Amino acid sequence: MEDPDTMAPAVRKRKELKLFLFIAVLLFPILAIAVVGSFGFSVWIFQTFTGPPGPPG
């Protein structure tokens, strides 16, 4: 991999833009879906063993 200090400014700017787009368009949305999905899954598993919340019926 090239040293960022010795890269031409135009090449460095293009690499930074590609990295930003990867993070903003792919990585963060995928991580957000994974976090929300895992929380929902953990609540579902918890309620499978303990029952739904609220007073006993």
Give the chain's domain count. 1
Q: Looking at residue 20, what is its pLDDT?
A: 97
Most confident of 7-11, 30-34, 47-51: 30-34
Q: Please report which confidence band the pLDDT of residue 32 belongs to, taking 50, 70 and 90 as the band edges.
A: very high
Instruction: Answer whether 24's CB lies under 8 Å from 32's CB.
Output: no
Evaluate whether residue 3 is within a structural domain.
no
Q: Please report which confidence band the pLDDT of residue 50 belongs to, taking 50, 70 and 90 as the band edges.
A: very high
Q: Report helix, strand and coil shares of the chain as percent, to nearest 5.
A: 75, 0, 25
Q: Looking at residue 5, what is its pLDDT?
A: 76
Q: Looking at residue 48, what is its pLDDT?
A: 95
Q: Looking at residue 55, what is its pLDDT?
A: 86
d(CA 43, CA 37): 10
The range of the structural domain enclosing residue 36 comes to: 9-47
